[in-house]
């Protein structure tokens, strides 16, 4: 269209006069009706320029509908017993954990954890899962939770397969927004006085204001309609199959969606220009009826009706925030002891005295259990859903920023294990010495993994800047890494397995 304006200046205005002359032989001599038809035909003809855009739209939106529907269908038919597990040895442990979380033994309002009451800075106490329609086996209740509440939450976040938000559709109209500014400021690639005279405007100011308001209405009410209309047409056609006939019809629907958008644009210009040049109550009424029709159409296409009236039963609710505070090193054991400060001022030891063989815990189980514990935030629920969908892969994709943060936070749990006393009166047995040595090695590796996660996060400053929760998580990691390095140094210096004169590699490593 820009090229046509350069080759044929003011071709829209000149073509409008020719169309009005041809339409006069069929519709009579009503200038208002002739202008309406002229603008409508011009915009319908201009939609031919969108034909190349129909080709990528056909493939991308067809794929979008399929993948979106596949995700929702998988959640609707989710069964933890039929889910694939990359590590078969993890299945029993995962099912035991799910049975513990979804069993009916706690009263509403009771908080839950994973083996202890320990929480870290930024974590919260949450209510236990309430009962769902499924009864009996806790695994059935977990299946009901994924199929019902969790799927509804995902639907509230991303919508169904034909939903696209209005701001996103408006963003995709940026090329037409830029073209409209060129069209208005360039005066149809001619002098503004001459263009105003050819358009029939009484003054140049009237001509400029009419163009600005007309383009603004088109940008807000017509251009965003393309994609929701296209998705609905494609879904209707593809519901009959995926054969050659259906594909040809789907490709035609992509072009018809663009055509419909330009028809709505022609309705705006055809009702707005006569109302400006020859104002009358009838012209104003017609213009307001067109605008009302387009506004109602946008509400029907972009308003999320399915989210209204639904009563989602929350799986958890924040009831109390807890902060972990660390006391000075105890003289008896030489190790820092951790205490948990409650809201009422009371405190208790944060870490369990029960030793855990972390070498037997597989990474899939670690992430699965940890994400179950932290599903109070909606964003973390989406992390949990993403991990469920990737659970059957041999190598889960943990390169995304959110998964790096989750992995980094959990690796710090290895270092907290070092706060556990190693034996009676500081004299560990041979088995305890081996466990302590394994814990120290795991802690060293955990600090390296956290530093790699931080380096990865700092490399994506754009994603961090737009996510306040991620910024807070990075600050928490910075503080916890310093605490963990201090703990690791104290444990290695007090452990009989390591010479006290040997400085730990973690303390020597330069800060990333």
- pLDDT tops 50 at residue 500: no
Which conformational region is residue 28 in: left (phi greater than 0), alpha (psi within -120 to 50 degrees), or beta?
left
Q: pLDDT at position 312, please?
A: 44
Q: What are phi and psi of 328, to 5 degrees?
A: -60, 170
Residues 6+ apart with CB under 8 A from 349: 337, 338, 339, 340
Q: Which residue has the tokens 């208790």?
A: 348
Sequence-separated contacts (24+) of 173-176 with Cβ below 8 Å: 173/219, 173/223, 173/224, 176/218, 176/219, 176/223
pLDDT at 9 over 60: no
Higher pLDDT, 399 or 292: 292
In this predicted structure, the answer to whether residue 290 has a pLDDT above a threshold of 90 is yes
Mean of pLDDT values over 217-221: 93
State whether residue 321 is helix, strand or coil.
strand
H or E element in which residue 325 lies: strand 323-329
Supply the pLDDT for residue 149.
Answer: 86
**pLDDT per residue over 66-93, tens digit each?**
888 888 888 888 888 888 888 877 888 8
- Please state, in angstroms and rounded to a whole number, the distance separating the CA atoms of residues 24 and 19: 8
Distance CA 408, CA 414 (A): 11
Residue 17 pLDDT: 58
What's the chain's average pLDDT? 65
Query: How confident is the model at residue 448, as a pLDDT?
Result: 64
Give percent above pLDDT 90 in the chain: 10
* pLDDT for residue 34 is more than 50: yes
Among 1-15, 131-145, 256-270, 428-442, name the most confident range: 256-270
**pLDDT tens readout for residues 356-411:** 333 333 444 444 444 444 433 333 444 444 444 444 333 333 334 444 444 445 44
230: pLDDT confidence band, cut at 50, 70 and 90?
very high
Asked whether residue 181 carries a pLDDT value surpassing 70, the answer given is yes
Q: What is the pLDDT of residues 316-345, one digit of tens each?
A: 434 333 333 333 333 333 333 333 333 344
pLDDT: is 292 or 426 the higher one? 292
Any idea what DSSP says for residue 417? G
Q: pLDDT tier at 182 (50, 70, 90 boundaries)? A: confident
What value does the mean pLDDT take over residues 452-466? 54
Owner of token pair 């799986």: 315
Beta bridge partners of 347: 341
Helices (H), 278-316: 281-302
pLDDT value of position 287? 93
Distance CA 305, CA 302 (A): 9
DSSP for 476-488 reads HHHHHHHHHHHHH
Helices marked H in 313-429 — which ranges? Answer: 363-373, 378-389, 401-416
| pLDDT for residue 224 is more than 90 | yes
Both tokens of 477, joined, read: 């990691």
Total Cβ atoms within 10 A of residue 208? 17
Give phi and psi for 323, each to the nearest 5: -125, 130
Q: For residues 247-264, give the mean pLDDT.
A: 90
Which tokens is 373 given?
């514990």
| Residues 316 and 375: beta-carbon distance below 8 Å | yes
Which helix (H) or strand (E) element contains residue 184?
helix 174-185
pLDDT at 25: 62
pLDDT digits (tens, 9 = 90+) for 104-126: 644 344 343 434 444 444 444 44
Residue 45 above 50 pLDDT? yes
Question: Does the pLDDT at position 422 exceed 80?
Answer: no
Packing angle, helices 11-27 and 192-199, rounded to 10 = 10
Q: Could you write out the DSSP letters of every residue in 25-50?
A: HHH-S-HHHHHHHHHHHHHHHHGGGG
Instruction: Please determine, for residue 458, whether its predicted confidence score (pLDDT) is greater than 70.
Output: no
- Residue 251 confidence (pLDDT) above 70: yes
Residue 302: burial class (beta carbons within 10 Å; 0-12, 13-18, 19+): middle
Q: What per-residue confidence (pLDDT) applies to 277?
A: 84
Asked if 380 contacts 374 with a C-beta cutoff of 8 angstroms, the reply is: yes
Q: What is the DSSP letter of 319?
A: E
Task: Report whether 119 contacts 348 (CB < 8 A).
Answer: no
* Cα-Cα-Cα-Cα dihedral sign, residues 210, 213, 219, 220: negative
């Amino acid at each position: 269209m820009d090229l046509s304006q350069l080759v044929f200046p003011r071709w829209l205005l000149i073509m409008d006069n020719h169309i009005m002359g041809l339409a006069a032989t069929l519709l009579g001599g009503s200038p208002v009706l002739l202008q309406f038809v002229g603008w409508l035909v011009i915009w319908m003809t201009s939609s031919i320029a969108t034909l190349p855009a129909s080709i990528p739209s056909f493939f991308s939106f067809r794929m979008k509908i399929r993948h979106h529907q596949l995700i929702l269908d998988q959640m609707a038919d989710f069964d933890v017993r039929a889910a694939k597990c990359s590590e078969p040895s993890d299945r029993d442990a995962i099912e035991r954990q799910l049975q513990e979380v979804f069993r009916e033994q706690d009263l509403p309002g009771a908080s839950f954890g994973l083996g202890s009451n320990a929480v870290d800075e930024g974590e919260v106490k949450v209510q236990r899962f309430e009962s769902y329609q499924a009864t009996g086996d806790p695994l059935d209740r977990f299946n009901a939770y994924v199929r019902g509440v969790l799927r509804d939450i995902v639907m509230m976040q991303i919508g169904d397969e034909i939903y696209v938000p209005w701001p996103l559709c408006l963003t995709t109209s940026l090329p037409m927004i830029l073209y409209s500014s060129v069209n208005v400021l360039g005066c149809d690639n001619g002098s503004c006085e001459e263009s105003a005279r050819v358009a029939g405007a009484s003054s140049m100011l009237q001509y400029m204001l009419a163009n600005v308001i007309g383009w603004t209405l088109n940008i807000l009410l017509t251009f965003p309609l393309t994609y929701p209309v296209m998705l609905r047409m494609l879904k209707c056609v593809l519901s009959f199959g995926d054969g050659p006939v259906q594909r040809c019809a789907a490709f035609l629907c992509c072009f018809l969606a663009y055509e419909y958008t330009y028809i709505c644009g022609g309705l705006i210009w055809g009702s707005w220009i006569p109302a400006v040049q020859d104002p009358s109550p009838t012209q104003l009424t017609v213009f307001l009826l067109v605008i009302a029709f387009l506004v109602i159409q946008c509400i029907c296409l972009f308003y999320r009706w399915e989210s209204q009236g639904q009563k989602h039963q929350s799986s958890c609710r924040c009831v109390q925030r807890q902060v972990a505070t660390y006391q000075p090193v105890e003289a008896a054991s030489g190790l820092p002891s951790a205490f948990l400060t409650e809201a009422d001022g009371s405190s208790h030891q944060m870490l369990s005295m029960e030793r855990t063989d972390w070498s037997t815990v597989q990474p899939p189980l670690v992430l699965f259990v940890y994400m179950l514990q932290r599903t109070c935030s909606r964003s973390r629920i989406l992390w949990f859903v993403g991990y469920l969908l990737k659970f059957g892969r041999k190598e889960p994709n943990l390169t995304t920023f959110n998964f790096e943060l989750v992995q980094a936070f959990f690796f710090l749990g290895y270092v907290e294990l070092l706060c556990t006393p190693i034996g009676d009166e500081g004299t560990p047995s041979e088995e305890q010495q081996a466990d302590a040595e394994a814990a120290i090695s795991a802690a060293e590796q955990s600090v390296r993994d956290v530093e790699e996660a931080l380096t990865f996060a700092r490399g994506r400053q754009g994603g961090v800047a737009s996510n306040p929760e991620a910024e807070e998580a990075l600050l928490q990691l910075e503080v916890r890494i310093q605490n963990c390095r201090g703990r690791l140094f104290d444990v290695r210096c007090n452990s009989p397995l390591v010479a006290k004169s040997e400085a730990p590699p973690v303390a020597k490593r330069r800060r990333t």
